[in-house]
Structure 1
C-alpha cells in the first residue's frame, strides 16, 4: 500500500544546492562563527538571531524535509509552532547532492560541498572496484583519508569549545561518524528521549562555549519501510515532537537549539520503478552500479559510455548525464581529481516519482522500500532550519 505523502505538485520541481549561501555546508561554519571559532564565517547571518548565545545545540532529524512539515503539523504541535516561527526563527536550507544521509551528514559536519569532502553517494565505487556502503563503513578505507577535510567539531574543539555528539550507540567509531563528526565527545543515545537527555546534559555541563550535535533517525526509517504518511511514520512524527518539546523547554540559560534535516522523502509507486534486472537493455555496457535508486551511478565498459547514455535517455524519464556533465554543472561543488572516480561514468538523476533500480548489483530489499530520497526535487532537497532560543 502506498500512503498519501501530502506533497504539493510544486514539491517535484528541481532545486539546486545553494552552496555558499544557504546549504547544509554553511550551517556549522555559521554556528562556529557565533561561538568565535577562528576561521569560521557566518554565511547564514546567525549572529543577529543568536546574539548573547554561548551554547548551541544542533539537532538533525533524519528525513524531516521542509515539505514533510505540513503533514507532520497535526501530529506534532510543538514542531508546528516552531515551523511557524512561534518560538524563534524558521527558514530553509538545501541539502547537498545527492540528497542522501551519508552525503548530508558529512556536508554538515565538514562544512564544505560534497565534491570537496568526497562522500558522494549512499554507495560509491572503491579504488579496488568494490562498492563502499557509507552507512556500514568501518575503517577500510581509513575515514580520515577517504574524507580528508577537518570537521567543524574538530576546529571548535581545538578553539576551546566543548563539543559533544549524541547519537545511537551503534554508530560510535564508525567510518561515517568519523568522517562527519570527529572531534566531539561521543554520547550514546538509544532513542529520542535519550537524545534529548544527552543533549541537555551536555549543554548544562559546559562551563564555557559549547556545541552539541544530536541525531535522530526514526522518521526516515519508517518512511523508507512503510511510507511517508503511514501509521508508523505518524508515530515517529509524534516522537519527533516529544523530542523537540523536551529540548525546547529544557534549554539552559545562554543556549539555543537549531533543528535541521538531511533530506526529505517521497513515496514512489510501483509503476515508477525501472529496474535494470527486468529491462536488460539498460544494463548493456554496464560493468557496475552504485549510488542509490534516485541517483544511480553506472560504471561502463571501455567505449560503452555513450551507448549507455543513449539507451537510458531513450528508456527513462530521468536526467541522464555523463560524469563530466554533472561535475561541470556544479551539483557536487568543485570535485578534485582524487574524488572524481567515485562518481559513475553515467549518472541517472530521477526527476519525478521514479526509481532507477539495479537489482543484482544491490540487495533486492532496496527495491522494496516505499519512500526514497537522493535526487534533486524540492521535496528531497529542501530542509527546515528552525531556531529556538
Structure 2
C-alpha cells in the first residue's frame, strides 16, 4: 500500500493562485479577454511584471531586512504557488502560457525525449528538438496580443530566440537588456502603451543561491540589489501602471551529508533506464516491467528522505495538473520528490549539479510558495 502524500508538501494552486494564473488575471485587469479563476487583480491600463528567479515567499519573509521595499508589500498580499516541479523552466513556461505542466509539457530541468534514451535540458535545449513541436499550445502572451494588448519581454540578449523563449514566451516583442539600467529603461518605455503587459526577468538571485547558498553574504547582498532595482522601477513607472513582483520558485540549501548519490548506492540504478529531473525532483524512466521493483527499492533506501510515487499516483495527486497524452511519456515512470533538505544526485550523470549549494524542485513550502506583490 502506498503511504499518503507528505502533509508538509504544498500542493500547486492551479486555476487559483499559481504562477500560471498570473497572465490570465492580468488580461482581465487590462480589460482584455480573460476571466481569472481565483487570482483577482486591480484594473490598470498597464502592468509590469518583474519575475525574480529563486525568491520564494518564505525567503522574502525570513530575510525581509535585506529587502525593505519588497517586504513592505507583503502585508497587502498572500503568496501563490509554483507548479510541480518547482523549477525555472516549468515555472517560466506556466507563466508565459497560462497552462499547467501537464499541458505545456516542460516538466522539469531535464526530461526524456519520448521514444529515445536522451534527455532534453530545457535551459540549454537541443537543436534537433523543435520548441514549437515540444510546446505547440498558443501562449497566454499570444492570446493577449490577439486581444489587442501590447506584450513585451525584457530579458538578457542571449535568451532571444532560445528554445525556452520560443516555447514559453512567443507572441511577445523581445527587448534585449543585459544591465539593470537597460532593463528598467526598457520596461518603462514598453509600459507607455495602454493595455500592455511588460515582463522583466532577473535571474541573478537564483544564480547566487545555487552557488553560495540561501542567506549567504553574497545572496543577501544580491537580494538587497534586486530590492533596489524593484524600487527604482516602481519610481520610474507612472502611478497608474501596476508593478507586480513574482518569483518562479524558492530554494533550499542541501549540505553534502544530506545527499544520496545513486552512483554510490548502485541498487538505485537497478531497473532505471534513464535518470532525469534534478536533485530535488527526480524523474526515473524505468525498464519495461521494472516500475514496481524500482518503487520498492527507492522507498526502502530513501525512507523518510523523499516521497517516491509512480507517475500515475503523482498525476492523481494533481501535481502536474491535467496531463495530455503527448506529455505523459516525458514524466518519469517513477517520480521522487525530496523532503526536508535532502537531495538525490548523480556524480556521473550530473556532476555539476552536485557542486551547487542551493537547490529547488520539490514541494516544500520554501520551494513552492512564491510572492505575488502588487504596487
Superposition TM-score tier, normalisation by shorter sequence: over 0.9
Q: Match for residue 7 of structure 1?
A: none
Of 298-307 and 189-198, the range deviating more from structure 2: 189-198
Deviation at 1:31, TM superposition (A): 0.4
Q: Match for residue 13 of structure 1?
A: 8
Tell me, yes or no, if structure 1 residue 361 matches structure 2 residue 362.
no
- Normalized against structure 1, the TM-score is what? 0.91
Deviation at 1:138, TM superposition (A): 5.3
Does the CA-based 8 Å contact 2:120-2:126 persist in structure 1?
no
Cα distance in 1 for partners of 2:346, 2:151 equals: 40
Deviation at 1:168, TM superposition (A): 1.0
Does the CA-based 8 Å contact 2:105-2:134 persist in structure 1?
yes
Tell me, yes or no, if structure 1 residue 135 matches structure 2 residue 130.
no
Alignment of 1:102-251 (within 5 A): 102-127=89-114, 128-137=116-125, 139-204=127-192, 206=193, 208-251=194-237
- Normalized against structure 2, the TM-score is what? 0.94
Q: Match for residue 324 of structure 2?
A: 336
Cα distance in 2 for partners of 1:42, 1:111 equals: 11
Deviation at 1:296, TM superposition (A): 0.5
Deviation at 1:285, TM superposition (A): 1.5
Deviation at 1:75, TM superposition (A): 1.6
Report SS of the residue matched to 1:160.
Answer: coil
Tell me, yes or no, if structure 1 residue 63 matches structure 2 residue 54.
yes
Cα distance in 2 for partners of 1:13, 1:45 equals: 24
Aligned length: 366
Report SS of the residue matched to 1:136.
Answer: coil
Please list every run of 5 or more consecutive structure 1 residues that lacks an aligned counterpart in the other structure.
1-11
Cα distance in 2 for partners of 1:348, 1:45 equals: 30
Report SS of the residue matched to 2:154.
Answer: strand
Cα distance in 1 for partners of 2:137, 2:30 equals: 20
Alignment of 1:293-372 (within 5 A): 293-316=279-302, 317-362=305-350, 364-372=351-359
Aligned with residue 28 of structure 2, among 33, 38, 62: 33
Q: RMSD over aligned Cα, in angstroms?
A: 1.4
Tell me, yes or no, if structure 1 residue 72 matches structure 2 residue 63.
yes
Does the CA-based 8 Å contact 2:60-2:67 persist in structure 1?
no
List, as ranges, runs of 4+ consecutive aligned residues in structure 1 with deviation greater than 4 Å. Answer: none
Distance 1:45 1:311, change over 3 A: closer
Deviations 1:273-316 (A, max 9, x none): 00101111111111110100001011122222211111110010
Please list every run of 5 or more consecutive structure 2 residues that lacks an aligned counterpart in the other structure.
1-6
